[in-house]
Amino acid sequence: MTSKWLALCLSTVAWAQTNGTLNGPDGLALTERIVQLTEATSLTAPGLARSSAPMLENLKQLQRNARMANRLTLTISQGLLAETRGYLAVADSIRKPFPYPEEARKQTAELRDAVARLDAHFLALLETTEAQLRGSDRDNLRRYAEANRTVPPPTARRVVFHGDSITDGWRLNEYFPGMDFVNRGISGQITGEMLGRMQADIIAHKPQAMLILAGTNDIARGVAVETIKNNLTMIADLCEFHKIKVILASILPVSDYHQDKNPRFAMTGTRPPAVIRQLNAWMATFAKQRGFTYLNYYDAMVDPSGFLKAELADDGLHPNPAGYRVMAPLAQAAIEAALPPVIPQQKAGRKRQK
């Protein structure tokens, strides 16, 4: 037993007394050991290495994904369990040599124990995720609670940027220096969660306009298109009631151009371009009907094949600095179109005297 594996076993004492999930380093160590044990035991029976080669390759890819994420996510844990259990099923079905090496027997037992630990981690992570979804803060209002208490009074040109990770990761002060732009994006959110944050994160700041970029996560999670439309309509209705100008931004295109770096960067499977175009067409029509401003990022960022230009994102979804440099002037132009020019105080005074 390696010292790293011994350390992992000892850490499990504390792990089992908490919520059952492995921390990042322990999860990565467990993944590494599973791959090592699978490789070693696959050589102990004739034909096992050949039969299990696809599963071992999948395990190695999942190990790379875990390293990149620096932890065992729910999806990675599920994949590791499926591949390892599949491998053990194949190993159990193949005739073993006699006498079977004692070291191989120990390694197989250790692999089964590792799978049990991984299964406990997966179930605990699943319970934690479900608890968060059922929790009292489904919409993650705590994220900006402290920041909201310290926001200064609004200027005559305050704009709140509402959205998901694409907004969350946008350093507005760098791209719009000196502007009263407030970022209230939260990574991973869908339109229903954004609707739940309208009062605390948007309306309470008394902006002149709200720029919302939303919908890509809804599509990825299988939210019905009609539900997305309803949520965006209700968000717009709230803004209109509170005299906040609405700027509806198109959903960005996606691509699979970077999947060679990581299979997770293949985005078109979960975010079909046809659905993105369908929602963007609806938003453009909806904005025209209601007198809102439609911000068309899509046309500026899509390539002739209908995908997000490779140079504008490093993962096929989130804009890199080059992507944000394309978006910034478009956002600025949309804001200028939505908001009337500010009349300087002196000029306004002279007009009143006349």
Q: Are 234 and 286 in contact (CB under 8 A)?
A: no
Q: How high is the pLDDT of residue 132?
A: 63
Q: Domain 3-134 is of which CATH architecture?
A: Up-down Bundle (1.20)
Dihedral sign from CA coordinates of 159, 162, 165, 166: negative
CA distance linking residue 167 with residue 316, whole number of Å: 16
Q: How high is the pLDDT of residue 149?
A: 95
Average pLDDT over residues 16-45: 83
Burial of 246 (0-12, 13-18, 19+ CB in 10 A): buried
Q: What share of the chain has pLDDT > 90, as a percent?
A: 72
- Based on C-alpha coordinates, what's the Rg of the chain? 26
Domain ranges of the chain: 3-134, 141-338
Does the pTM surpass 0.75? The reply is no
Q: Is the pLDDT of residue 16 over 80?
A: no
Q: Is the pLDDT of residue 332 over 90?
A: yes
pLDDT digits (tens, 9 = 90+) for 242-294: 999 999 999 999 999 999 988 889 999 999 999 999 999 999 999 999 999 99
Q: How high is the pLDDT of residue 344?
A: 64
Q: Is the pLDDT of residue 348 over 60?
A: no
Average pLDDT over residues 129-157: 86
- The correct CATH number of 141-338 out of 3.30.70.100, 3.40.50.150, 3.40.50.1110, 3.10.450.50 is 3.40.50.1110
CA distance linking residue 24 with residue 84, whole number of Å: 20
In 3D space, the residue among 174, 168, 162 whose CA is nearest the CA of residue 211 turns out to be: 162
CA distance linking residue 308 with residue 317, whole number of Å: 8
CA distance linking residue 60 with residue 54, whole number of Å: 10
State the alpha helices, DSSP H only, in 100-207. Answer: 102-134, 145-149, 165-168, 172-175, 191-196
